[in-house]
Structure 1
Amino acid sequence: MSEGLSHVLVRDHPWTEPLEVAVGIGGADGALALLSDGGPGGRWSHLATGPDRVHVGEVEADLFGPLRDPAWGAGTVGLAAYDAGARPATGARTPVWPDLILARYPSLLSFDHHRHRVRAIGRGRDPAEAEAAADRAAAWLVAARPAPPSTEPPAEGFAAEAPEQAYRQAVAEVVARIAAGELFQANIARGWNGTLKPEADPFDVFLRLQQGRASSYGAFWRVGDLALVSNSPELFLAFDGVGGRIEARPIKGTRARSSDPVEDAALAAELRASAKDRAENLMIVDLMRNDLARVSRAGSVAVDRLFAVESHPTVHHLVSTVVGRADPGVTPADLLAASFPPGSITGAPKHQAMKVIADLEPPRGAWCGSLFILEEGGGLTASVLIRTASFERIDGRWRFRTLAGAGIVADSDPEAELAETEAKISALRRALTA
């Protein structure tokens, strides 16, 4: 076991816009920005840099086993790749992203959007270390500055990895496999890639994505030559380690938004009433209930909200909320192991859906994995990495890959599912290429 940071100092500070603090910190190695839009689904934002402990690599057995080391306590941020979680179903595949990335941040700023207060948190092996770490975090507030005006598009291009017809055919194949009784639903994705201009980096993409398109679980994170930019609206798991409450908010069901208010309202109403989308959502709700039941007290798993329409800058989504009360002794590692990968981006039954996905897609990497932060008292907040681009610096240039998918069910129409992927990728496409 490794040494943890047992001393914690928390200081309150007046409100400062987290995006302005993120601009002051910048996008150098180790920079972290977990930015919420401050809406009902995203109360907290977190900012940090300068991790004192980092893990990047493959995990042979228990994907979340490293989190059982107490050294990875509160202030730890992690990213679990989709393919690592799917491996029990798919077998070994050529990795395109590390299984697990972890970084521990002794200095952290946490922004409470509801109370408009900022907490500077310092952690250390003794009180003096914790105080120095809290001072470092507070200094980032002083360096805050407004986000620069939107600049030239940072990407040189945005190329589809396969023709549109290949996606239509994949959807048709899944529909046929559902008709044959092989499964009920699978989330099938298509990908795009490209290279940033020599003078651009992933932080530029993040800033463009934040302006006018902020989400509940927006993120920028850079670890060495890897970086992630996310505009995810989806909560995978929230866990209150003290009270034991677990919450998941799976998304299933989408409509593109319209600039015409009347048409936009009609599209939201159509989504709310759609039997197909409600059935698609309900399958995943049942799947998440099953996953949470593995680590919850008997009879505590329930559906708190069903088929709610949430509106985002480019799409309307159908969202449900599943809750549970954890068994005594359950840890974030236990909860993640019981539920990962997220059911909303696999399908039902989950194991078979992941096999079908592997038949039709190359490895996903970070996309549709999860980005999470460990909190005081054994708590956890984890997002689903949709609306996400992963970056790798090769020979001095940043190359990116991003995907968008749709849940395929028995009555899916290939053309409609293709259109759904276009709606979902639109914000990232604009951030990269305008």
Structure 2
Amino acid sequence: MTISLEINALPYALAAEDEASTLSRFARLRSRPDAVLLDSGQPSLAGGRFDIISSDPLAVLEQGPHGGKLTGPLPETMRDLSQFSEALERLARLPVIEAQRQLLTLLPQTLAGEELAQHDLSAEDLPFIAGLLGYWSYDFGRALEDLPATTEDDIALPWARLGLYDWALISDHQRQQSWLIASPQRRRQVLEWLEQPAPRSADFALDTPFSPLLDRAGYGERFRQVMEYLHAGDCYQINLTQRFSADCSGDSWDAYLRLRQATPTPYAGYLSWQDAKGEEMAIVSVSPERFVEVNHRAVETKPIKGTRARGATPEEDARLAAELLESPKDRAENVMIVDLLRNDLGRVSAPGSVKVPSLCALESYANVHHSVSTITSTLDDGRDALDLLGAAFPGGSITGAPKIRAMQIIEELEPVRRSAYCGSLGYLDIRGHMDTSIAIRTAVIAEGQVHLWGGGGLVADSEEEAEYRESLAKIQRLMEALG
């Protein structure tokens, strides 16, 4: 689908401004309603290309155990669109995936009512021009599969929260240029917002140390239960996670900046909003892992499975990286999840199109080395990005295999729900493009507490102490940065 919008180019010098261009612009916008940043970690991290910023959505769809809720506010120019208003009421009653699909279709209808400059974006290599931005929590899987509900949901975020955004500011680090994509009216608003000074923020602080919900003995007990399930043949792999929490105060944006500095990653993001009681909720994520991308019907997923901590010296670092690549256990873990994801993608992909161009490649970050594979395919005729999301969610790298049985065991053994952790942050564009993360290395800040999770996939020959240390290594640098 092609829609005519006006583009206003905002050139910037990447080498001179460093990451300040994206971060300083978002700092000016972050107090706007439902401001969102999808951050590629540039220039501290090689590989990322685009950053996406937006705010002030036309509507917000929240989905949870009691159905859907759709709220405004709509711009004044939209309030007389009776068709749009009627659609808002209908969306709240639709099944979750269909509600998201129908919400997305409202955007071209809405924008068509405005005076837009003619600019065909079909040839532009931009990831997002307008559409849905937000998150799908791990528990969104409950809307797709019949799962038990025995653990406490003590954070109680919506299962999914997606805004309908009619503008975006895109920074392209390859071209070293930024694009403001908006209608003329919206463009004037955004430029005025960007001229305002950034609001002052209170330094983020931990008021108590991080403490685990499970002590070491509790982790060990659950590890042994997982081993029993694996040896009984229930699963080949089960992901076991533990949560760490601390009392906190100050600004969640400052928390994000600390995490970003400590571990820049290509699929990072920051979301903040007010709940029904007026309390701030925030998701701050520095994920290294892509879940699923759709670009002109080409699909890609990049599961991470296999981790080593970085070494204290170059020699130790190289040894640990080689150990990961040569480990039969880690390779077997990765291959299991590749097979699971090949099956997930195959449900909505053209026959014969599912490929594995890269298996168990090394990717290195500030705190860990990872083993990463790449699976690609092409969407089948009559299928779209939301069909893919429904077929593959949640990502197999953070559940286990077979997926549904692994999720049932996770529900039995983990003492509380995972919330946004192991869900996805991302976008779904009106042209059908989508990109989403696996929300690992992710904190949720709510009601005066910050929560972090660390975990890993367990297989039959996993060693308890090594797995426990690995779950800590993945988030130790994040806890130190926040502290």
Q: TM-score, normalised by structure 2?
A: 0.80
The match for 2:320 is 267
2:136 to 80, 84, 92: 80
The match for 2:407 is 354
Give the distance between the partners of 1:92 and 1:423, measured in 2 at CA: 30
Q: 1:376: how far off?
A: 4.5
| 1:91/1:212 CA distance change after superposition, 3 Å | closer
One-letter code of the match for 1:284? I
* Paired residue secondary structure (1:175): helix
1:215 to 240, 262, 265: 265
| 1:71/1:194 CA distance change after superposition, 3 Å | farther
Q: 1:40: how far off?
A: 6.0
Q: TM-score, normalised by structure 1?
A: 0.89
2:305 to 228, 252, 267: 252
Can you give the 5+ residue segments of structure 2 that lack an aligned partner in the other structure?
68-93, 109-129, 275-279
Give the distance between the partners of 1:320 and 1:139, measured in 2 at CA: 44
Give the distance between the partners of 1:403 and 1:326, measured in 2 at CA: 33
Q: Is 1:68 paired with 2:78? A: no
Greater Cα offset, 302-311 or 57-66: 57-66
Can you give the 5+ residue segments of structure 1 that lack an aligned partner in the other structure?
123-129
Q: Is 1:91 paired with 2:148? A: yes
2:290/2:436 contact within 8 Å kept: yes
Q: Is 1:413 paired with 2:413? A: no
The match for 1:135 is 188
The match for 2:125 is none
For residues 257-336 of structure 1, what are the structure 2 equivalents within 5 Å?
A: 257-336=310-389
Greater Cα offset, 340-349 or 157-166: 157-166
* Paired residue secondary structure (1:267): helix
2:38 to 29, 34, 58: 34
2:234 to 182, 187, 194: 182
2:440 to 380, 386, 389: 386
1:11/1:121 contact within 8 Å kept: yes
Q: 1:189: how far off?
A: 0.1
| 1:253/1:140 CA distance change after superposition, 3 Å | farther
1:55 to 54, 58, 61: 61
1:24/1:144 contact within 8 Å kept: yes
Output the aligned Cα RMSD.
2.5
2:107/2:430 contact within 8 Å kept: no
Q: 1:117: how far off?
A: 1.2
Q: 1:414: how far off?
A: 0.8
1:27/1:203 contact within 8 Å kept: no
* Paired residue secondary structure (1:71): helix
Greater Cα offset, 76-85 or 92-101: 92-101
2:29 to 25, 31, 35: 25
Q: 1:265: how far off?
A: 0.9
The match for 1:9 is 6
2:148/2:411 contact within 8 Å kept: no
Give the distance between the partners of 2:48 and 2:358, measured in 1 at CA: 17
2:248/2:449 contact within 8 Å kept: yes
One-letter code of the match for 2:131? G
Give the distance between the partners of 1:179 and 1:332, measured in 2 at CA: 37
One-letter code of the match for 1:33? L
The match for 2:243 is 191
| Percent identity (aligned) | 37
| 1:410/1:204 CA distance change after superposition, 3 Å | same
2:334/2:371 contact within 8 Å kept: yes
The match for 1:127 is none
Q: 1:85: how far off?
A: 0.2
Give the distance between the partners of 1:143 and 1:106, measured in 2 at CA: 21
Q: 1:28: how far off?
A: 5.4
Greater Cα offset, 221-230 or 272-281: 221-230
Q: 1:175: how far off?
A: 1.6
Give the distance between the partners of 1:329 and 1:141, measured in 2 at CA: 41
> Highest CA radius of gyration, 1 or 2?
2
One-letter code of the match for 1:80? W
* Paired residue secondary structure (2:5): strand
Q: 1:326: how far off?
A: 0.4
Q: 1:27: how far off?
A: 4.8
1:162 to 214, 228, 232: 214
Q: 1:141: how far off?
A: 5.3
The match for 2:126 is none
Q: 1:19: how far off?
A: 1.8
One-letter code of the match for 1:114? Q
Deviations 1:30-51 (A, max 9, x none): 1211111245653211112222
